[in-house]
Amino acid sequence: MNDPAARVRIFDTSLRDGEQSPGCSMTAAQKLRFAHALAELGVDALEAGFPASSDADRDAVRAIAREVRGSTVATLARCHEGDIDACAAALEGAAHPRIHVFISTSPLHREHKLGLSREQVVERAVMGVSRARRLVDDVEFSAEDALRTEPEFLAEICSAAIAAGATTLNIPDTVGYTTPSEIRALFEYLRANVRDADRAVFSAHCHNDLGLAVANSLAAIEGGARQVECTINGIGERAGNCALEELVMALRVRSHYYGAHTRIDSRRLVPTSRLLSRITGMAVQRNKAVVGQNAFAHESGIHQHGMLKHRGTYEIMRPEDVGWSQSQMVMGRHSGRAALADRLQALGFQLEEAALNRTFAAFKTLAEKKREVFDADLEALVLGSDAVAHRGWRLSRLHVSTGAGGEADTMPTASVQLHGADGETVSEAAVGDGPVHALFAALARATGIELDVDSYQVSSVTTGDDAQGQAQVIARVDGVEVTGSGTSTDILEASAHAWLDIANRQSRARAPAVHRHAAIA
């Protein structure tokens, strides 16, 4: 790149383009909460919404403009007086307000969508930018569908937008059509052919219809873009936008190649991604780069063996640097002896070679039947399942009541009865914010064990009306992430088993070691 110390500004549009994902609408309070998280993450600008689109969006933008500090607050408007004035009114109180006006420039959009000639589109763009510029100092202009626009017309309208006062020129690949070499060449062309190009920051806004949004945004940077528009988890219209976490980490991991940096606090990437998933209810796919559950999980024996020798063999970035606590060695069908021995050692078992070989054979047989082999399964393999089952709490009765409507008797309540390792029976009850919360609170009371639960999820492991649900609880025990699982046709019962799985392991781990080694022989 020509500019070795380039700073790339990150413009997050999760709250505007991201919210355009079907199913991702957020309330004003949720948008405000997420805007604070984006400011903490260190985004240079956050697009808070499109005030003219609804009262709810206008109210969300207002609250964000008044409260959120540390990032420019941008809002979107068509080249319409009303839209632009609504932006200015909603942005009142913002420390750094930006109005972002857009109009389509491609022949297809001009003819079929707007019914406007080239001249009329330029006229509207100039009207929009100059009106916005009278209201705020920071004005962004976007040429919608820029990548399907005649390059010389794009240069003409960008030149007119700069002359009218635009400070950022955004070049959107609205339908995710371009390729890396094409967009790079377009940015180079625009930087050379737009009049007074140095008076504006060039920006890329890439959609992911062909899965190229991040690659195209990186290529735009190579071509001279110094702002990239992106969203957390890559949410956005249709297949989404450039994923912020992927772009930021690509620039960081390949900093020598790109010679560019951002001011994002990368350790906040995973917490921010999780917050967005919780707010929108849109799960992140497991194999999603950087923030997916599998991003730092290793299952195959050859990789695990390499990882145990040097993590650089199979990891190009550290999980801690993006907000995960550690890499994960997942025990499954593809795991080898090195990983098994290492995991068993972490569980307190030092096996001699012959015992390890026997356990390994039993482990492979079990892994054929189970997708993932958990610590409790390994303990059962080594100690014998009876020994494990009888050395902990077992659920003998469970009752959960819940409901909605605000009546006192619908408050989520759980009661449990457990049998202990020494034959004792204990019953306890608790209320909670929801049925699972109440259940976990009742189990904590009954066992006297407090678990610091990090995450909880239920998935179906069989199909049909009588499908088995598998509950997975991840808790932090002595600073280490421990996963417990339970299966049942009743998801609350599965959840109780998953919670007890961790609690029992925690108490076994604290039991005298001699007892645990005795069964191995």
Ligand X SMILES: CC(=O)SCCNC(=O)CCNC(=O)[C@H](O)C(C)(C)COP(=O)(O)OP(=O)(O)OC[C@H]1O[C@@H](n2cnc3c(N)ncnc32)[C@H](O)[C@@H]1OP(=O)(O)O
Ligand Y SMILES: CC(C)C(=O)C(=O)O
3-state secondary structure 202-262: EEEEEECCCCCHHHHHHHHHHCCCCEEEEEHHHCCCCCCECEHHHHHHHHHHCHHHHCEEC
Of residues 150-179, those binding ligand X (CB under 6 A): 174
Cα–Cα distance, 508 to 317 (Å, whole number): 34
Sheet holding 452-460, edge to edge: 452-460, 469-477, 480-488
Q: Can you tell me which of 21, 75, 106, 142 binds ligand Y, judged by CB under 6 A?
A: 142
Report if residue 174 touches ligand Y, rule: CB under 6 A: yes
Token match 């417990």: residue?
484
- Residue 486 Cβ vs ligand Y, minimum distance, rounded to whole Å: 44
19 binds, among ligand Y, ligand X, none (CB under 5 to 8 A by kind): none
Residues 6+ apart with CB under 8 A from 371: 332, 461
> Hey, which residues does 141 pair with through a beta bridge?
101, 169
Q: Can you tell me which of 26, 41, 65, 103 binds ligand X, judged by CB under 6 A?
A: 103
Cα–Cα distance, 447 to 450 (Å, whole number): 8
- Residue 20 Cβ vs ligand Y, minimum distance, rounded to whole Å: 8
Interacting span for ligand X (CB under 6 A) from 72-80, 146-154, 451-459, 477-485: 72-80
Cα–Cα distance, 232 to 275 (Å, whole number): 10
In 3D, which of 160, 119, 117 has the Cα closest to residue 141? 160
Query: Vertex 20, ends 18 and 23: CA angle to 5°?
Result: 95
Interacting span for ligand X (CB under 6 A) from 35-43, 46-54, 306-314, 335-343: 46-54
232 binds, among ligand Y, ligand X, none (CB under 5 to 8 A by kind): none
Report if residue 50 touches ligand X, rule: CB under 6 A: yes
- Residue 221 Cβ vs ligand X, minimum distance, rounded to whole Å: 21
141 binds, among ligand X, ligand Y, none (CB under 5 to 8 A by kind): none
205 in a labelled binding site: yes
In 3D, which of 191, 250, 206 has the Cα closest to residue 17? 206
Would you say 105 or 159 has its CB closer to ligand X? 105
Residues 6+ apart with CB under 8 A from 28: 56, 59, 60, 63
Q: Can you tell me which of 39, 60, 72, 102 binds ligand X, judged by CB under 6 A?
A: 102
Report if residue 333 touches ligand X, rule: CB under 6 A: no
- Residue 237 Cβ vs ligand Y, minimum distance, rounded to whole Å: 7
170 binds, among ligand X, ligand Y, none (CB under 5 to 8 A by kind): ligand Y
Report if residue 172 touches ligand Y, rule: CB under 6 A: yes
Contacts 24+ apart (CB under 8 A), 359-368: 363/331, 363/335, 364/333, 367/331, 367/332, 367/333, 367/335, 368/333
Interacting span for ligand X (CB under 6 A) from 60-68, 74-82, 90-98, 190-198: 74-82
Would you say 144 or 501 has its CB closer to ligand Y? 144
Report if residue 127 touches ligand X, rule: CB under 6 A: no
241 in a labelled binding site: yes
Helix (H) or strand (E) holding 65: helix 55-67
Helix (H) or strand (E) holding 193: helix 180-193
Residues 4-23, one symbol each (x = binds ligand Y by CB under 6 A, - = not), give: -------------x------
Per the CB < 8 A criterion, the answer to whether 499 and 440 are in contact is yes
- Residue 334 Cβ vs ligand Y, minimum distance, rounded to whole Å: 41
H helices of 91-117, in order, are 107-108
Residues 16-45, one symbol each (x = binds ligand X by CB under 6 A, - = not), give: -x--x-------------------------
79 binds, among ligand X, ligand Y, none (CB under 5 to 8 A by kind): ligand X
* Three-state SS at 332: coil
17 in a labelled binding site: yes
80 binds, among ligand Y, ligand X, none (CB under 5 to 8 A by kind): ligand X
Would you say 216 or 447 has its CB closer to ligand Y? 216
- Residue 206 Cβ vs ligand Y, minimum distance, rounded to whole Å: 9
Here the tokens at position 88 are 């200015």
Of residues 185-214, those binding ligand Y (CB under 6 A): 205, 207
Interacting span for ligand Y (CB under 6 A) from 85-93, 168-176, 274-282, 501-509: 168-176
Would you say 102 or 374 has its CB closer to ligand Y? 102
Per the CB < 8 A criterion, the answer to whether 461 and 469 are in contact is yes
Token match 């999820």: residue?
457
Angle, helix 491-509 to helix 375-383, in steps of 10 degrees: 60
Residues that constitute the known binding site:
17, 205, 207, 241
- Give residues in contact with ligand X (CB under 6 A): 17, 20, 50, 52-53, 78-80, 102-103, 113-114, 144, 174, 237
Residues that constitute the known binding site for Mn(2+):
17, 205, 207, 241
- Give residues in contact with ligand Y (CB under 6 A): 17, 102, 142, 144, 170, 172, 174, 205, 207
